[in-house]
């Protein structure tokens, strides 16, 4: 496909922005701006921040445990199966055939203990039904034929065939899953089969979202220097997909009263994670840094060498064991997404006791421009063979990520056609909180 003029213009803009960006190492050497944390180290810092805290636990009904993490091992409360049962609809037989068919009703699942079989006898049996004592095997219906009161097999009958013996899957007390396992729908089924009504789990991390800015509209079209708030509709569902419990989304202004409200919200929030939007730079109404200093917070990450999303930050609120944190997202929408995947996702997974996502790479289709010093996160579509970069990947744009399957991690100086790039999955593409 021949690139359009718009494609060339967007690529030229990317390259121009990269060239005029200052090397954070030079700023640091000159005693100027803080040195941004390298993107991989920022993610490691987020994981470390969420690890080693005092975990909260609760005991909940099975249906409420979905997406949480087991705080205790899942041990078998009984043998599974708890009795010898039939694996197929067919006939329970004793001894060699042909067999005399027992008159009367057959053996159904859930029925009382059946009468033992005499040698040379057969009785109809349903899948899951209890095997009569002295049964040799179960013959599937399609592998048998009746002749009057006699039953004949169409193929060799092996002792024990199509019988699920007691304890085939596990014995009472066996470890089924260790603590730390994610509760998926399959885990709920296993727990129910093993006799559980409730599970002890680590609850989802609580998250409060604070949307900062006076220029944001909650409805209607942008006008007169005002823009629509694109983050409030996006962040709550996104964080929920990452396994969090979003307790509130609040808007706070940029005026001095807003700064006081932000300080009170940061100090008083009982959330495990406070997520702010905007206000992380050093402008006249960027209150996040002053508020964090006033609150006595410890800055763990203050700027990340990544585009978009450079002014993101991570702070610890209170002592380490409490596990309260703040992630400051830039105000531009795609920059905020970059910060979510860089800091918020690994932090939330660690707070919840979940494993971090496995890393994987995909070859990129076409050359991708890079920043001279920083990592770039670029929305991509994933095909059977390649990651295809998408247009509309500027910091304020959502059009690209809305059509994407993930973000490609582009190293400094860019990537060449066919180069393997790490992919950050988007939560609705990769299975959400069940991964």
Q: What is the rounded distance in angstroms from the CA atom of residue 331 to the CA atom of residue 395?
A: 9
The CATH classification number of 34-55+204-351 equals: 3.40.980.10
Cis previous bond, 25, omega within 30: no
- What is the CATH architecture of 85-164? Beta Complex (2.170)
- The span from the CA of 435 to the CA of 182, in Å, is 8
pLDDT at position 121: 95
Contacts of 300 (CB under 8 A, 6+ apart): 45, 49, 314, 315, 316
Secondary element (H or E) of residue 380:
strand 375-382
pTM over 0.85: no
Give the per-residue pLDDT at 434. Answer: 59
Residues 6+ apart with CB under 8 A from 65: 183, 188, 199, 201
Q: Which two tokens stand for residue 399?
A: 């059009």
Q: Count other Cβ atoms within 10 Å, centred on residue 54.
A: 9
Extract the residue ranges of the chain whose pLDDT is less than 70.
1-34, 214-219, 227-228, 283-285, 321, 430-435
Residue range 58-78+169-202 forms a domain whose CATH class is alpha beta
Residue 221 burial (C-beta neighbours within 10 Å; 0-12, 13-18, 19+) = exposed
In the chain, where the domains are located: 34-55+204-351, 58-78+169-202, 85-164
Q: How far is CA 417 from CA 172, 388, 410, in A?
A: 56, 10, 12
pLDDT at 285 (0 to 100): 66
């Amino acid at each position: 496909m021949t690139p359009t003029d718009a494609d060339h213009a967007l690529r030229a803009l990317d390259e121009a922005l990269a060239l005029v960006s200052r090397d954070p190492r030079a700023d640091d050497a000159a005693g100027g701006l803080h040195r941004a944390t390298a993107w991989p180290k920022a993610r490691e810092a987020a994981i470390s921040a969420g690890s080693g805290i005092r975990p909260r636990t609760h005991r909940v009904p099975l249906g409420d445990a979905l997406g949480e993490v087991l705080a205790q091992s899942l041990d078998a409360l009984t043998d599974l199966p708890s009795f010898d049962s039939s694996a197929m609809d067919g006939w329970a037989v004793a001894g060699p055939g042909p067999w005399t068919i027992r008159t009367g009703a057959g053996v159904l699942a859930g029925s009382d203990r059946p009468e033992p079989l005499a040698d040379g006898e057969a009785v109809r049996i349903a899948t899951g039904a209890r095997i009569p004592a002295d049964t040799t095997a179960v013959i599937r219906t399609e592998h048998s034929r009746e002749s009057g009161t006699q039953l004949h097999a169409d193929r060799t009958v092996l002792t024990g065939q199509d019988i699920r013996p007691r304890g085939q899957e596990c014995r009472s007390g066996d470890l089924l899953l260790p603590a730390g396992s994610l509760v998926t729908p399959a885990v709920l089924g296993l727990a129910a089969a093993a006799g559980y009504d409730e599970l002890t789990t680590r609850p989802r991390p609580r998250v409060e979202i604070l949307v900062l800015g006076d220029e944001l509209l909650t409805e209607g079209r942008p006008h007169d220097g005002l823009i629509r708030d694109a983050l409030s509709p996006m962040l709550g569902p996104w964080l929920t997909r990452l396994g969090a419990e979003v307790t509130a989304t609040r808007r706070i202004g940029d005026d001095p009263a807003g700064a006081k409200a932000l300080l009170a919200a940061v100090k008083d929030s009982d959330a495990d994670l406070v997520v702010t939007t905007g206000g992380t730079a050093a402008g006249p109404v960027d209150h996040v840094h002053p508020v964090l200093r006033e609150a006595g917070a410890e800055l763990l990450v203050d700027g990340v060498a990544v585009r978009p999303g450079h002014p993101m930050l991570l702070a610890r609120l209170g002592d380490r064991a409490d596990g309260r944190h703040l992630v400051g997202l830039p105000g531009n929408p795609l920059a905020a997404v970059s910060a979510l995947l860089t800091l918020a996702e690994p932090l939330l997974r660690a707070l919840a006791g979940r494993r971090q996502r496995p890393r994987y790479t995909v070859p990129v289709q076409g050359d991708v421009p890079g920043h001279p010093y920083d990592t770039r996160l670029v929305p991509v579509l994933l095909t059977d063979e390649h990651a295809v970069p998408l247009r509309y990947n500027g910091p304020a744009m959502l059009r690209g990520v809305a059509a994407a399957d993930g973000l490609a991690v582009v190293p400094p100086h860019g990537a060449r056609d066919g180069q393997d790039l790490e992919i950050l999955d988007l939560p609705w593409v990769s299975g959400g909180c069940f991964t």
